[in-house]
Chains A and B, each alone.
Chain A
């Protein structure tokens, strides 16, 4: 299994211009980052375009990785999610349905990549449970779907300013809960 430390090594080597490390990094992380892009964009073609942008950005910024304070998986996923959402926002005609295409689940050569420790996942879930369900849904919607304030407000049937207040308070509560 490719470990987090392996991935970090690859990133550092990519920062030094190592193309083989870049290729290995793609092999080790591409499916997960594609999953992130696909979740946000709901469109395979767009997600593949986004994935290319993601890895170009990784290639260009890996030399700054060591100084930035991120853990390796977070760094990669954050790049992917942000680029996917940029593309989502730029898209004129939003796709609301997942395209009816069979997608290939990860096949054997692609290693499992745990994003966070199970304990961290459990803590997040626990802290989300402490929120009002509608608020927790909104936080998840923002992260996983790239929903805007307007979209979140529409989904919840509340005015946009109400949603802003919900989110800000919920995020503060989450932070307090997670740093308990």
Chain B
């Protein structure tokens, strides 16, 4: 803890004071800083002092704690729904930031019937306590919904198709779209059972997190070409850690 010189914080005791300011010099200064009343040069100078002066920092904490009572009357306001996803992309996928439509470019060759990117609120997923990432793969009209849980330790993707099914004589195929990889990678045909799990190939394990899962409509048995041939019906982002 840096020591402050007494005369810096209290002023010289027998000096004539100006309007009572001198002895409380730093306290007033700290309060002005806290209120954001100092001009830019004064602010910078104060911040430089703050960096080395623990007593000053502690005075600032006290003032911020006093003044925060004013904030009590400020009403909460819900921000636009786009703010949070943009924030998460900004922090956790900086490569995607520049190419806001990178995902769309990856899917550009396909006939996109319904495209919806969702980052889900964490839900409890019972996998016996393993760390799990979640994705909700949803069609825009919600006609197809698959809840997915990804366990990187076991390299397993657990799928729960809560709404929708393959069309008659067709298959649903699951793809993962990895940042930096142009072509979607197949994870195979969706199992017939509503609830099932599939193994994730070793080479894809790290790439799954924050990747986009997509489901396309394919001929029975899956795409013959290794790339999606039918419509992309639903997508979701593998995110959220739940323990």
Contact = CB atoms under 8 A, between A and B. Distances in A.
Contacts of B79: 30-31, 34, 47-48, 51
B231 interface: no
Interface in A34-65: 34-36, 38-39, 44, 47-48, 51-52, 55-56, 59
Contacts of A81: 36, 71
Q: Report, as a range, how many residues of chain B touch the other chain.
A: 35 or more
Contacts of A44: 80
Contacts of B76: 31-32, 34-35, 105-106, 110, 113
A20 to B, nearest CB: 4
Nearest to A27: B121
Interface of A is mostly: helix
B100 to A, nearest CB: 15
A77 interface: yes
Contacts of A39: 74
Interface of B is mostly: helix
A1 to B, nearest CB: 13
B68 A142 contact: no
Given A20-B240, A73-B68, A148-B37, A175 B74 contact: no
A70 B61 contact: yes
A168 B28 contact: yes
B61 A168 contact: no
A20 B90 CA distance: 15
Interface string A150-171: 0000000000000001011101
A167 B80 contact: no
A38 B77 contact: yes
A115 B122 contact: no
Contact of A82 (B36, B75, B121): B36
B74 A36 contact: yes
Interface of A: 18-20, 22-24, 26-27, 30-32, 34-36, 38-39, 44, 47-48, 51-52, 55-56, 59, 68-71, 73-74, 77-78, 81-82, 85, 103-107, 110, 113-116, 120-121, 123-124, 139-140, 142-144, 146, 148-149, 165, 167-169, 171-172, 174-175, 178
8 contacts: A19-B88, A26-B87, A82-B36, A142-B37, A148-B37, A167-B32, A168-B32, A175-B66
Closest 7 CB pairs between A and B? A31-B76, A124-B69, A171-B31, A20-B241, A104-B78, A34-B79, A115-B72
